Amino acid sequence: MIREQITEKLHKAFEPIYLEVHNESYRHNVPAGSESHFKVIIVSDIFMGQKLLDRHRSIYKELIEELAESVYALALHTYTTKEWTKINNTIIASPNCRADMRT
């Protein structure tokens, strides 16, 4: 349900030409079925001329409720169409969870 909320909000706010929202909670030490760790790949020309930090801030603003309530981690990969084409539509793999770093 959280994944669908994130997807809907990002579609509405950024009109992406490409959007993937992955629930990566299973890769972490959380109960089965959790929705707490996500990776977002979003391609939108709304990001044109924006610094990476500004792109991330704009996404955080749209997802303020989810981040305040249930989302613990949000990995963001934000691109313009030109940037996305330049990297050949390559999705960066998430690193493995480092359980030894958790408290």
Instruction: Write out pLDDT tens, residues 18-33.
Output: 999 998 886 777 767 7
Tokens of 42: 């979003």
Q: Is the pLDDT of residue 69 over 80?
A: yes
CA distance 88 to 98: 29
Q: Which of 7, 28, 16, 34 is nearest to 79 (CA)?
A: 16
Q: Is the pLDDT of residue 6 over 70?
A: yes
pLDDT of residue 31: 65
**Average pLDDT of the segment spanning 85-90:** 86
pTM over 0.75: yes
pLDDT of residue 91: 78
